[in-house]
Structure 1
């Protein structure tokens, strides 16, 4: 390992006083000097260690300047104590570390929690930089790293397996991946800190990738130090919850940072792979990847997402998209200066000139007023491409102005008859394609396939609105709206009708041409909002076409749920072509099992079958199914549910697109994208898939350019490979075992969570579940309905709470009970065969094993001892016993000799598997050095925060004075003790979330 003096963990003390010398030493290692990305001996582990050492040295020099040597010594002591506990796992070492933390006053604890939270975020940056450099290194050497990790690798692998290049090209040309960004959970980090850390990451990449002079290194180090200082001195706590509009603005920043430029670069790389194998480029009229959004459209249980909110976010995205296109067209004006063109472009340019202003002075003055980058004079007539592009630039400017007026005034809308603005992407796409085809025809291929091709790809992918906003609402809300209508017009209660009655009435109304909903309908505010939303859909479809995607029905249980939404859209003003496609979301276990029957009943309605024209989208929910039945039972229900849904579609010649509502965590269906895709049932992808990208996953997938490219590459390759070379069908015996496993695990999970009286009390006391709402990390409430208990709790805080205490119960509960029973029934060898030979089962077990490696029974026991009533300790001990038992059965089935530790094997991919496991093991150990002290700090202040809620104990605590030595000028809570305690608690939650890379 060529680190030139940088040790595995740190060179001497990270708290050394000679920062300048230390920084110079760290920043002049051989890897930094040579440009790591261009060397052959790349090692991601080395990069992480070097980046960590550099960032920690800078961070602690900043802390020294802003606190005291005494405080630094305490941080050092806690670090050493945590390191000792990490090595031994002994309770005595844990106690020693705990005592050090308990000596800190509340102001020191606030600083401590913030310091460790910052360190974890800086460590995340080190890993992101290493990942980005690793991806670059792989592409430099064109080294295949296992199946479906790159599109080029997938193409090569498919050719080796016997697929013709024609088959591959045809599949790729019609393939479509839609990545849907969602705001829940919102990043725990404030955008101010994300921005600062993003700059640190950018500068670290420069250190790693380029040979730099000493002056350049010094300038980069100054910028890193400045941004680390900015993050350290910024309030970590989001004091007010974000609005949905804020969430959309945060999501749009990723398009500016990486996505807008990365998509055409990625598609160009796919073109290169195709051309190398004797194919043409991807078709111009197709985008193999697009983007959707739920930010400001997901109103399920979120009272802040209204029809006006949906209008706002559509306009915000459209303004941003128009800005991007305007800037891009201005760049293209410089590129296309040539005069040779075909007759089509000549006619188009002449038509534009014939209807344009002829006064050259007036043209100059107007373009000067608009402050265009260049080309204020009239475009020469012999430059036809520029004539066309100048027209597009003018129209995009007008469009932006019109949209800005709509944003600032809710009473203003786009004039659909205004020819001076652009409303559809075809209005940009068609002139650009005409220019492209002309250049090809006159043999200027190199020019056509340069920036112009990239712009066409951007238009095809993003349109004017960047993302297509989905609308989501709960099925009961639609039923309530129709119930209000049927009661008002004298037909009785819609809700009380049978399913057959509902379908018959809905179908007759859909076939009828008379209006259904009276203008003077008397209804509740909730019903009015449903109707207003459907009216807003109709309005946006006409004024901002292409800005909306799918209408998703959460908690869907019947065919009438889908027909009801189609009818409501039509009755609220949607023309037939403007009615959004409707996707039922099946998420709970019973709903997943019943989905095929529901779809068959729906497709049996002839009107609806004709309406969808052979295409149906169905969303499957990972989050609520896991909370409802446990991870193992949910995983099998999702697998079988996909098979049966696709089979139901096949019976009616309906092509199904499955929309995977995957969370960021294993408990909510998360995990590496490529293995998730390749473990899907055969025949369920077929070239088309939609996937949610949630919360902090957006930052890890799209926050940095190399990682953004890798994300696009990963999904494209995985879908291509699954479509042309799907995994084999599981043996019938394996299915039978999975059926029993699902039955056993679900029964045990539900008995524990929903039928054991002690469980809800234990959950409330042993985790910070009830305190999570104070983090303000999302716009929607933690519960769908304001009643107590696990049932009403959303899946995100449910997972988040157990993660904070390092218990991770939702992922493993039910596994030991079901697997033990199967082993007793003689199925151990079958389970082992399933793990070795079935991708779905292997992925499921590996992800559970990874989560179990994150769990810490000592920390869990500490939470319980400090926070839980003694009467519940026996119940807690039983749960902790199940955690240990789950580890044992997972290792028994996987035949691993320890969590994330494989035995020696002779298979071809064994070395790569061990390398990945060891890499993950090291990552967890590194993070634990900071997470465990934050756990201890969290428990201490959870206890105090809860005591403050009780009059007697709270009175004693509130009498304590808050030291302000290190917090002079601290503007929050007026140095009120209770407020300071809550601030420490919030920062520990954010720090642990950063360390576990999980906000639910």
Structure 2
């Protein structure tokens, strides 16, 4: 096997393009060689389809497109499955080449061979001192006071199975090795064989998840990123920051400083998800603590080999002698117990002459005991986790681990062994401060109306009336009276509906969990101050000590506009201000606000709401932390990290950022160690600059025009989405929205309840339009708003805003990127294949609106074509236009296959059997179609439906890979 590979290191983003194309070609050749080996006839057809797709993507002619459609339409059902799978795999392989390309650019930047396309922490430190005139001490103090908390969620946008992600990770690692390591000819051949083996294993793996994941599955998937990547990278990044600080004559970061914290919603997010119960939440807390304990156990055992020295401080000697004396009294039992535990070494009691090993051995024993207790907690669901850990003397408080480690560190420093202290021991201290004993703190999220139901059940049972029917002032008076009173409110034996019982069970379960395993209590669809106070009261009644901080999530446009008033009501109350102890957190939702009002109106509402919330908090002397509920796609607030943070309003971050990392973004930001390092670097740099070099406040003229744009775009968006009677039917017919629920990519249903657009979750709403290639939620309404402003003579103002206001720049740049991915011709193909003729005029109107938006965006950004050149905010993704072009020939056949599969499935279900004769003869296809447990036995599906279902699911995954944000 011989493949051409370019390993030359290039010196600029444009020059890396050759390497990107070479890598794309290499992996495509590898894949085709595997496909030809297993399916020679099919490989020839895939080759033809790829050539036809390339021809159409280049020529854009209708005749070339019709040739592609005709060829694909003639495929047999089993061929469609394998062709879809082929293009899906090739797209994922292409995405790996982009990731490796980014790693190469990052490596070249660090070696000084090219300028950084985006800021990193080292550049930020230099800029803030050399350009902005800040003293090194000012920068150091700000850095030491900042924290970024990344909250991993299980939102269903990661369409790839973990089995495939692991195999693709091998390909990415080996491909990167080809570029980054000097290799002999033999080593190159062996590396290419490793790539081939991983690609072949991926191809021979069923890419469809055949059953829905449980929240516990989602948590295990999230934890895998910690054990394989994040845990190891965090101390490496802190070490790099230390080095940058030392070059400026500054001390290292303090030992107890963690630049990052990690949180999770996996198993805690019960908003509209009946699969997340009190027991589920308990399980994921135990699983996360087990992961932390197992990881620390390995670290401590490894340190026992490193810290063999006998010199130590008097304090260290005293502690070691006390532990050694206690163990020597039962030396035989201790040795036998350690032998049973199959420790790597050091079974017998260690003499006090090896003080570090004595203390570490004691810590290892406690970690082992802690692990045993947590295993028991998994087996016995009624056991109090916190109570069991306390009773067994296991690790429950982070300081129990931190104190002896800090003592070792100080001892080494005092004996002149600073290099040893600042090696792996320092790394462990940093890891402990970052991850604690819980690895990541679990947020609890519940919808506000569920708490109202509980309060209503209580007041009705007590004969106080119906809480649900009270107005806001009556609710507030009742809640504050109860919070300041002493009587118990929730009587034992109270009648409860199943929904109320589950909410109460969750609160009671929280009281038995270690407090450091828990983060915030998020109230989704929060609208009023009583929504917050009700949760405060229910925590008190359930014995949650210490109470979780209660965080209202403002999501819809109306809720965002009302948020400052809600917070004023809360913070103006003396009791509540004393209760929160000077700090409050509010969450703002990007997904639902965009679905409610359109992207432009939502972006401006989020901007203004942040400013107003910060002002309200300042008025009452409260420090406000804003929690950004960003999704992966632009329609849900996604975008390049540095750009997103730097475009926030001045004064709204102030050194503390909390943000969600959702779905496929987890893999994109933490799937590989170098990528993870870059992610931490970007967040640290951006938050530091946001605090010390915030963007200037926009001029009043800009604000006034932005308000007008937001109003006009919202009116247009809602007139189409919510006030056009036929729109919902068009949406359901022209997209795979109704079929997305069968994708098995998340544990949550796609809708909160039955209904139309209003009840559909934001994720499937945007996911469906992305698949159909219209990307409507991102741009609808923007073209008309810009057109109106330009007609009124505001074009120079708009261009000034774009050039000089980071918020407006990033907003339009992200819309421009999505417009470059939109394809009106493919959207029209879905329409003529799937939609009733009477609805076609609406589709024509939507495509005219798309063209108008593209036209007016180009006027404002002063370009002749989308993604022409690179604006400053687009520099984070060099050669974006070329990356989209390279993906296009892989994506187009998947779109054609998806539309044809939807047509076949819907026609079959409409007409019944419909005379379709299809009995696959290929044994491999027969086995594949029988893998779904829901397609067996009585009521099993017709083979044609099974084939089209599988093809559809594969195209959904493939198109998702093709449309993911580049950067």
- Shorter-chain TM-score category? over 0.9
The 8 Å contact of residues 186 and 247 in structure 1, kept in 2 or not, is answered as no
Displacement of 1:957: 4.9
- In structure 2, the CA distance between the partners of 1:310 and 1:113, relative to structure 1 (3 Å rule), is same
Contact 2:157-2:763 at 8 Å conserved across structures: no
Match of residue 908, structure 2, among 944, 948, 955: 948
In the alignment, the residues of structure 1 paired with residue 611 and residue 12 of structure 2 have an alpha-carbon distance, to the nearest angstrom, of 44
Which piece of structure 1 moves more, 510-519 or 958-967? Answer: 958-967
CA shift in 2, pair 1:465/1:980, >3 Å:
same
Query: In the alignment, which residue of structure 2 is the partner of 1:929?
Result: 889
Give the conservation status (yes or no) of the 8 Å contact 1:867–1:939: yes
Q: Report what 2:219 is aligned to.
A: 248
1:659-690 deviation line (CA, Å, top 9, x unaligned): 00000000000000100000000000000010
- Alpha-carbon distance between aligned partners in 1 of 2:115 and 2:320, rounded to the nearest angstrom: 48
Q: Is contact 1:144-1:153 (8 Å) kept?
A: no
Cα drift, residue 213 of structure 1: 2.5
The aligned residue for residue 268 of structure 1 is 239
Alignment of 1:903-918 (within 5 A): none
The match for 1:688 among 649, 656, 659 is: 656
The corresponding residue for 1:400 is: 371
Give the aligned partner of residue 967 of structure 1.
Answer: 925
Given that 2:7 and 2:178 are in contact with CA atoms closer than 8 Å, whether structure 1 keeps it comes out as: no
Which of 581, 588, 591 in structure 2 is aligned with 1:613? 581
Contact 1:424 1:545 in 2 (8 A): no
Q: How does 1:362-761 map to 2 (within 5 A)?
A: 362-414=333-385, 415-418=388-391, 420-540=393-513, 544-575=514-545, 578-761=546-729
In structure 2, the partner of 1:15 is none
Instruction: Determine which of 764, 770, 789 is the counterpart of 1:822.
Output: 789
Shift of 1:948: 1.2
1:911, CA displacement in angstroms? 8.6
Query: Displacement of 1:290 after TM fit?
Result: 0.8
Distance in 1 between residues matched to 2:192 and 2:489, nearest whole Å: 67
Secondary structure (helix, strand or coil) at the match of 1:473 reads strand
In 2, the alpha carbon distance for the partners of 1:912 and 1:597 equals 37
1:551-605 alpha-carbon deviations (Å, 9 max, x no partner) = 0000000111111101101101123xx1000110001001101111100100122
Q: Residue 993 of structure 1: which of 949, 960, 964 is its match?
A: 960
Pairing 1:103–2:74 present? yes
How far apart are 1:173 and its partner, in Å?
0.4
Aligned to 2:33: 61
CA contact (8 A) 1:82 1:930 kept: yes
Indicate conservation of the 8 Å contact 1:551/1:580, yes or no. yes
Contact 2:810 2:873 in 1 (8 A): no
CA distance in structure 1 between the aligned counterparts of 2:77 and 2:330, rounded to whole angstroms: 73
- Cα distance, 1:30 vs. partner? 4.4
Aligned position for 1:890: 857
Count of aligned residue pairs for this structure pair? 954
**Partner secondary structure for residue 949 of structure 1:** helix
Deviates more, 1:507-516 or 1:956-965: 956-965
Give the match for residue 49 of structure 1. 21
- Does the 8 A contact of 1:107 with 1:963 survive in 2? no
SS in 2 for 1:818: helix
> 1:653 aligns to what SS in structure 2?
coil
| Structure 1 residue 194: Cα displacement | 1.1
1:169 counterpart = 2:136: no
Larger mean Cα displacement after TM superposition, 890-899 or 135-144: 135-144
TM-aligned CA deviation for residue 384 of structure 1: 1.4
Equivalent residue runs for 1:835-850 within 5 Å: 835-850=802-817
Q: Which position in structure 2 is the counterpart of 1:905? A: none
Task: Tell me if structure 1 keeps the 8 A contact 2:117–2:878.
Answer: no
Measure, in 1, the Cα distance between the counterparts of 2:337 and 2:86: 54
Partner of 2:757: 790
Whether the 8 Å CA contact 2:653–2:690 is kept in 1: the answer is: yes
Residue 939 of structure 2 aligns with which residue? none
Deviation at 1:103, TM superposition (A): 1.4
Shift of 1:417: 3.5
Pairwise CA distance, 1:330: 0.7
Give 1:380 deviation, angstroms: 2.1
User: Structure 2 regions of 5+ residues with no counterpart?
Assistant: 937-941
1:959 Cα deviation from its structure 2 partner: 2.9
Instruction: Tell me, in whole angstroms, the C-alpha distance in 2 between the residues paired with 1:150 and 1:30.
Output: 26
Displacement of 1:53 in angstroms is 2.0
* Distance in 1 of aligned mates of 2:922 and 2:790: 60
CA distance in 2, matches of 1:173, 1:897: 46
**Partner Cα separation in structure 2 for residue 417 and residue 173 of structure 1:** 33
Question: Structure 1 residues 253, 957: closer, same or farther in 2, change over 3 A?
Answer: farther
Contact 1:86-1:929 within 8 A present in 2 as well: yes
Question: Given the two structures, how large is their TM-score scaled by the length of structure 2?
Answer: 0.96
Q: Deviations over 1:359-395 (max 9, x none)?
A: 4333322211111111122212122121111111110
Deviation at residue 511 of structure 1 after TM alignment: 1.4
Deviation at 1:220, TM superposition (A): 2.2
Instruction: Trace 1:169-248 onto structure 2 (pairs within 5 A).
Output: 169-248=140-219
Distance change in 2, residues 1:112/1:528 (3 Å) = same
Note the 1:327-338 alignment, pairs <5 A: 327-338=298-309
Q: What do residues 510-543 of structure 1 show as CA deviations (whole Å, max 9, x unaligned)?
A: 1122211011110111111111111111110xxx
Deviation for aligned residue 1:238:
0.9
Deviation at 1:934, TM superposition (A): 0.7
CA deviation vs aligned residue, 1:37-85 (integer Å, no higher than 9, x gap): 9x899943233222222211111111111112x3222111111111111
Corresponding residue SS for 1:546: helix
Contact 1:423 1:545 in 2 (8 A): no
Partner Cα separation in structure 2 for residue 339 and residue 497 of structure 1: 71
What residue in structure 2 maps to residue 9 of structure 1? none
Q: 678-687 vs 195-204, which deviates more?
A: 195-204
Relative to structure 1, the CA distance from residue 911 to residue 993 in structure 2 (aligned partners, 3 Å threshold; closer, same or farther) is: closer
Aligned mate of 1:939, from 899, 902, 922: 899
Instruction: Look up the SS of the partner of 1:958 in the other structure.
Output: coil
Bigger shift: residues 819-828 or 677-686: 819-828
Alpha carbons of 1:807 and 1:231: their partners in 2 closer, same or farther (altered >3 Å)?
Answer: same
Q: Distance between the aligned counterparts of 1:957 and 1:269, measured in 2?
A: 67
Alignment correspondent of 1:982: 949
**Distance in 1 between residues matched to 2:346 and 2:877, nearest whole Å:** 57
- Which string of whole-angstrom CA distances, capped at 9 and with x for unpartnered residues, describes residues 628-672 of structure 1? 000000000000000000001001000011000000000000000
Tell me: CA distance 1:509–1:945, structure 2 relative to 1, closer, same or farther (3 Å).
Answer: same
Contact 2:535 2:550 in 1 (8 A): yes
Q: How far apart are residue 816 of structure 1 and its match?
A: 1.2
Determine if contact 1:176/1:688 at 8 Å carries over to the other structure.
Answer: yes
Distance 2:113 2:380 in 1: 53
Q: Alignment partner of 1:967: what SS?
A: helix
Alignment-derived partner of residue 154 in structure 1: 124
For normalisation by structure 1, the TM-score amounts to 0.93
State whether residues 799 and 810 of structure 1, in contact with CA within 8 Å, keep that contact through their aligned partners in structure 2: yes
Are the equivalent residues in 2 in contact too, given 1:323–1:400 (CA < 8 A)?
A: yes
C-alpha contact (below 8 Å) 1:181/1:694 kept by paired residues:
yes
Preserved contact between residue 632 and residue 745 of structure 1 (Cα < 8 Å): yes
Q: Is the 8 A contact 2:373 2:392 kept in 1?
A: no
CA 1:630/1:712 → structure 2, altered by over 3 Å: closer, same or farther? same
Residue 880 of structure 2 corresponds to 920
Q: Distance in 2 between matches of 1:360 and 1:131?
A: 56
